[in-house]
Amino acid sequence: MARIAIIVGHPRLGTFCAALAEAYRGGAEEAGHEVKTIELAVLTFDPILREAYVRVQPREPDLETVYRDIRAADHLVFVFPLWLGDMPALLKGFLERILQPELIEPAKTGKFVQVLKGKSARVIVTMGMPGLIYRWWFGAHAVKLLEHNILRFMGVAPVRVTIHGSIKAVSRSKREGWIAAARDLGRRCA
């Protein structure tokens, strides 16, 4: 049994991203995994790193709770839409705030630490453009940023990616297939 933290990076509730996260959760719970879902849309925190790494910006209570949930998890799942070629600002701000080096004990002494070492991750991204175009023409830059510059840098491996493109143009049955696939990923904690 794994402990899973699902981070929904959409700033609105009730979206297709939320449906994918719920399907993943359902499959994981069916398989006996312990799951925490973190909807950024309901957290109370300032997503702007106002002190710009000059001074410590203490985490709000919601961020402290989420930080503990993420540290306790064996597997992380990030679900978000691609907007203007990147993750939503709320998700980026969340990551900047929660992973401030000044708030991680070993980093306070100047030591580099992979605070998320030993965890695996699944990244699920929805977008308006075709997924193949995003990967081939645009190089999947937002996904690479999250995968390499944040997750792997912090020790997460492996990181697996699922991209759902042309989200507004696909049929209802295609969306239902994506929901079923997310449920299956949850069962397998993959």
The total domain count for the chain is: 1
User: 3-state class of 80 per DSSP?
Assistant: strand
| Distance from C-alpha of 36 to C-alpha of 74, rounded to nearest angstrom | 11
Res. 10: pLDDT tops 80: yes
Q: 1: part of which helix (H) or strand (E)?
A: none
Res 92: pLDDT: 96
- What residue numbers bound the domain in which 121 lies? 3-188
Res. 9: pLDDT tops 70: yes
AA letter at 189:
C
Res. 69: pLDDT tops 90: yes
Res. 142: pLDDT tops 70: yes
Task: Report the pLDDT averaged over residues 83-89.
Answer: 95
pTM for this entry: 0.94
Query: How would residue 109 be classed by pLDDT, with cut points 50, 70 and 90?
Result: low
Q: 167: part of which helix (H) or strand (E)?
A: none
Query: How would residue 110 be classed by pLDDT, with cut points 50, 70 and 90?
Result: low
Task: Report the pLDDT averaged over residues 102-108.
Answer: 63
Q: Count Cα atoms within 13 angstroms, Cβ side, for 95.
A: 18
Give the CATH number of the domain where residue 45 resides: 3.40.50.360
19, burial (CB in 10 Å: exposed 0-12, middle 13-18, buried 19+): middle
| Distance from C-alpha of 106 to C-alpha of 72, rounded to nearest angstrom | 17
